[in-house]
Amino acid sequence: MSTEEDTVQEKKTISLKTSDDEVFELEENVAMEFGTVKAFFGDDGVSRDMVMPIPNVHSKELTRIIDFCTKHLALKPKADHDEAGKKELRKFYAEYVKEDTTERIMELILAADYLNVNDFLDLLNQSVADRIKNKSVEYVRKLFGIESDFTPEEEAELRQKYAWAFEGVDED
């Protein structure tokens, strides 16, 4: 057998079926970045040939998560060994979700949480935190669709009592 055939034969795949019935074939090393997949196939008696259903994840989000994990796996070894690699990984993180809307990021958070992809989840959560940093209460409520629990009078009283908390807030 040639070495090319050995390489092809060694690449194992895992199949995942999304909520919209798309089946994805992932290289095993990428699929094992998903804690949910790792736990599923780690159970005794579960064949790697089985298609794993992921009913809480849409194909649009899975495509993005697979892309992240593939690139992250390629960059991580370099980042573990030298400063240039760390810089490249930080740049990748900074650019990866930069153009996504907050709604899209929230969808990705739900999918990454379900699949237990912690590195991606950390990146997404930090992105949301950066977007709401120094924003007004009204902005954050609107962004997340949250209704105020306070009456206008109670809110005015709290704003007066804790005026320092509202200083230096960015314009919405």
Q: In the chain, which ranges are E strands? A: 13-18, 23-27, 51-54
- Tell me the CA distances in angstroms from 94 to 52, 73, 98, one per residue in order: 31, 16, 7
- Superfamily name with CATH number, domain 7-133: Potassium Channel Kv1.1; Chain A (3.30.710.10)
116-166 pLDDT, tens digit each: 999 999 999 999 999 999 998 889 999 888 999 999 999 999 999 999 988
- Lowest mean pLDDT across 40-49, 59-68, 84-93, 144-153: 40-49
Residue 13: HSE in the Cβ half-sphere, 13 Å Cα cutoff? 10
pLDDT class of 170 with cuts at 50, 70, 90: confident
* Interatomic CA distance for residues 101 and 97, integer angstroms: 8
- Domain residue limits, the chain: 7-133, 134-172
141-151 pLDDT, tens digit each: 998 889 999 99
* Residue recorded with tokens 């949910």: 36
* Interatomic CA distance for residues 171 and 43, integer angstroms: 51
* Residue recorded with tokens 């962004």: 143
User: What's the pTM value of the predicted model, to 2 decimals?
Assistant: 0.82
Greater confidence, 79 or 23? Answer: 23
